Amino acid sequence: MHNAQQFLIHHGAPILFGTVLLEQLGLPLPAFPWLLAAGALAAACELNSVTALAVSVLACLIADGVWFYLGRYRGAKVLGFLCRISLEPDSCVRRTQSLFTRYGWRGIVVAKFVPGFSTVTPPLAGMSGLGAGRFFIFDAAGSMLYSGTFLCLGYFFSNQIERIGAALAGIGSSAGALVIGALALYVAIKFWQRRRLLDELRMARITVADLRHMIDSGENVALLDMRSPEESTANPGIDGAIHLSIDDVKEGRYDVPRDREVVVYCSCPNEVTAARVALLLRRHGFKNVRPLLGGIDAWHEATELIKAS
């Protein structure tokens, strides 16, 4: 029998709880192989299926609860942290915000099946003002769906999993080394691509104070809003801004004179999307184009301070 299954037989629920918890906290340690193995063991009457489901759901709720309350009380900092550690920095938050805004509570239910969506959804739910009770109801449903799906797959395909485990055992330790090596190579490549992108996007940002001064002075500034339509509707941007997508910029579907000062903003905490668009515009012949430091959140914070003073 496969080593993972043997390990689960002897240690059972605590190991399953730990692997699911670590995955849901954001570590790149997939839990679905352990869930499949647990389902196969349940089919062989070596593990209680109800216990396996219960500890998996509990691990999901604990991890998601941590992210939910961090998002509620430290929202922008949490998203900034997730964006910094993401291997896909230009879409880590932007894509998830768009999905969450579009699908709401349904997004919470299916979040665990979408790569990159699972960890970012709970803090976004906390930031959105969703009640804790409703969040945990939807999250419990999603956790049961996620854990139950892989447990059932393991249960009904236990014979095939046994064969795969036996084949890997026949190969020996080299199989594990090959899998670990492939995973390490993937992470290394994605990290290198990430660093190259961030190095390329390092450019001077414009501060909210400087932008406000330019607008108040009557300067003809072109403002480009790079957020999704759903996000722009839920959270209004800067007056007079032109809403575009990255595809619009890539394909030249915009009407902005090249001699104007252009300011690009988004909602990603590191302004990666705005910086990427600014870089594209420079390649298209724009000379004066800068991302907005802090994005739309910094603009709204400054606006609130002005109103309060």
Cβ–Cβ < 8 Å for 14, 7: no
In the chain, the percentage of residues whose pLDDT exceeds 90 is: 21
Residue 77 has pLDDT above 80, yes or no: no
pLDDT at 277 > cutoff 50: yes
Distance between CA atoms of 245 and 247, rounded to whole angstroms? 5
Q: CA dist 215 to 171, 203, 261, Å?
A: 67, 22, 11
Task: Tell me how far apart the alpha carbons of residues 241 and 296 are, in angstroms, rounded to a whole number.
Answer: 11
pLDDT digits (tens, 9 = 90+) for 84-97: 555 455 545 555 56
Q: Which two tokens stand for residue 308?
A: 């309060």
pLDDT at 149: 94
Q: What is the mean pLDDT of the chain?
A: 78
Cβ atoms within 10 Å of 132's Cβ, excluding its own: 13
Q: How many CB atoms lie within 10 A of CB 257?
A: 9
Q: Which of 221, 197, 209, 220 is nearest to 271 (CA)?
A: 197
User: Which has the minimum average pLDDT: 24-33, 76-85, 280-289, 299-308?
Assistant: 76-85
Kindly tell me the burial class for residue 11, based on how many C-beta atoms sit within 10 Å of its own C-beta (0-12, 13-18, 19 or more).
exposed
Cα atoms in the Cβ-side hemisphere of radius 13 Å centred on 217: 9
What does the pLDDT average to over 108-126? 79
Supply the CATH classification number for the domain 208-308. 3.40.250.10
- Sequence ranges of the domains in the chain: 3-198, 208-308
3-state secondary structure of 221: strand
pLDDT for 230: 64
Of 36-50, 52-66, 89-103, 218-232, the least confident? 89-103
Predicted pLDDT at 113: 82
Q: Is the pLDDT of residue 247 over 70?
A: yes
Q: Which range in 31-35, 175-179, 201-205 is most confidently predicted, on average pLDDT? A: 31-35
Express each pLDDT in 278-303 by its tens digit.
888 888 888 889 889 888 888 988 88
pLDDT of amino acid 112: 85
pLDDT bracket for residue 168 (50, 70, 90): very low
How open is the CA angle 273-277-281, to the nearest 5 degrees? 170
